[in-house]
Amino acid sequence: MLLSKIAQYLELEFQGQDIEVNALNTLQDANKNELSFLDNPKFISVLDSTKAGAILIDEKFKDKIPNTTIALFTNEPYLNLAKITKLFAPDILENKGVYPNIDKSAKISPTAYIAEGAIIGKNVQIMPNAFIGDYVEIDDNTIVYPNVTIYRDCKIGKSCIIHAGSVIGSDGFGFAHTKTGEHVKIYQNGNVIIEDDVEIGANCTIDRAVFGSTIIKQGTKIDNLVHIGHNSIVGEHSILVGQSGVAGSTTLGRNFVLGAQSGVAGHLNIAPFTTVAARSGITKSIKESGKTWSGFPFFEHKEWLKLQAKIARLLK
């Protein structure tokens, strides 16, 4: 899509030669045919090194924009970004006649739905009423139980098990907000990548990334009714216990253990071999690996136990 079309859609102007915009992306990752945005001034230093072909940005930062990046000035960059995400959203179900590529050894239920361009590996089992979206890839020996939904473009590794009712690749929860309190959807054009040997319980939800991928790394085991937000990365061999959740854009190190009904906030980094006890809420990044944390607000587990003992003494 031409940048001029985008500018016109947003009723914004720009100076310089028109360019072809293939996608939206973050400042760090955008290339010369991608449009990015700067909304939070704390990321302004990223401007120096961006390769983005164009950017939605407040005019007050105009001196900081590299020569190679065309500016679309607006005092609501994020809201304008949101408005155009829809233009880049692919069809939910395409109709181009691209046959799925299903290995002969795969067992596909006649009532499962395998969409265009999907690739299904050896010995994969897709059970009744599962939905496999456009261009989804499912590698060898994976089992998809009934009533699972895998949205388009997601990739599932080898020897995974996805239990009934789980949803992989639904839209991340992302909106820009107008001054009058409405929410404009940011279409989530990324995907979910699930690596090998991952097991996902029943009725879980793993959201697709806005750009790039939400990633569940190798060997991770997820219990039932667990939620993983968009753009999060769950480290190798992690254990996420029932009804726990991870908000968006958080990176969990390997062998992370998240207790039942616990949560991890968004935009955090959690060191490897971290354990979080049941019913805890982690709201800050954790740098030291190998520790156990509890509570909300959270403390090191031993400290939390001490604190609870002291609190209980208030009763006396």
**Catalytic center residues:** 230
Asked if 261 interacts with a second copy (CB under 8 A), we say: yes
By CB under 8 A, the residues from 181 to 240 that bind a second copy are 181-183, 185, 199, 201-205, 207, 219, 221, 223-225, 227, 229, 237, 239
By CB under 8 A, the residues from 278 to 297 that bind a second copy are 278-279, 281, 283, 296-297
Min CB(186)–a second copy separation in Å: 11
How many Cβ atoms sit within 10 Å of the Cβ of residue 297? 10
Asked if 157 interacts with a second copy (CB under 8 A), we say: no
Q: Which is nearer to a second copy, 33 or 159 (CB)?
A: 159
Which of 50, 69, 149, 213 touches a second copy (CB under 8 A)? 149
Asked if 146 interacts with a second copy (CB under 8 A), we say: yes
Which of 80, 243, 249, 274 touches a second copy (CB under 8 A)? 243
Asked if 144 interacts with a second copy (CB under 8 A), we say: no
Asked if 97 interacts with a second copy (CB under 8 A), we say: no
Min CB(123)–a second copy separation in Å: 12
Min CB(190)–a second copy separation in Å: 16
Give how many residues touch a second copy by CB under 8 A. 76
Q: Which is nearer to a second copy, 106 or 225 (CB)?
A: 225
Asked if 129 interacts with a second copy (CB under 8 A), we say: yes
